[in-house]
Amino acid sequence: MGETETREVLSRILIANDGEVLTRLRLSAAEAARVCNVTPRQLIYWTKKGLVKASAEGDHDYDVYAMEKVIRIRQALAKGYSLEKAAQLVQRDIATLQSEVKRLDDLSAEELEDELRRRLEKLEERVAQLRRSLPATLSLARLRRATAELARLEEQGALASAGSSGEGAKALVLRLGRAVDELEMLLREVSSAAI
């Protein structure tokens, strides 16, 4: 996919108000790096490697399209990918977005309305699932706070001063903490499986 096609895809996703402001926006390497939460040295290195292209108007001026790629690469790096793999993933994501934009453009008005309705229904289902899991999440939060409070009391020696029941309370704190950890892990697995 060429740079022109990439810009077209991103413009459809990012731009409001006919893109007038965003298409003219240009930042220096230092400013773009600050906006994208990378160092200027990283940004210039990525540019030299060809992973990000500076705008045509200047060697180190970056437009919104370049900054979007930088942000996506940084996010992929944060997930543990190498720089090359992160750049490949970003390029693949942009290609996927381009094909999705083309697919939506090719739909008739009725088909587009049906597509949007299906997406809205999926979002409503997800919201309902999150609402159902909220009480469990709140219960886990309460258990976590109770475990933290018991651990705090144990650190202060309040449980040990309770006599022979202090050792039992310490064991209870450890067991409760492990149980809360297991419940949280199970809840995350169930939530991610529901997505």
Taking only the tens place, the pLDDT of each residue in 75-131 is 999 999 999 999 999 999 988 888 888 888 888 889 888 888 898 898 888 888 777
From 52, 87, 106, give the residue that closes a domain.
106
Give residue-wise pLDDT tens across range 121-164: 988 888 887 777 666 666 666 667 777 776 776 677 665 555 54
From 106, 137, 171, give the residue that closes a domain.
106
pTM assigned to the model: 0.50
Instruction: Please check whether residues 83 and 19 belong to one and the same domain.
Output: yes
Residues 6+ apart with CB under 8 A from 36: 43, 67, 70, 71, 74
From 106, 127, 149, give the residue that closes a domain.
106
In the structure encoding, which two tokens stand for residue 123, read together? 């979002």
68 contacts 14 by C-beta, under 8 angstroms: yes
Kindly report the CATH number assigned to the domain that includes residue 72: 1.10.1660.10
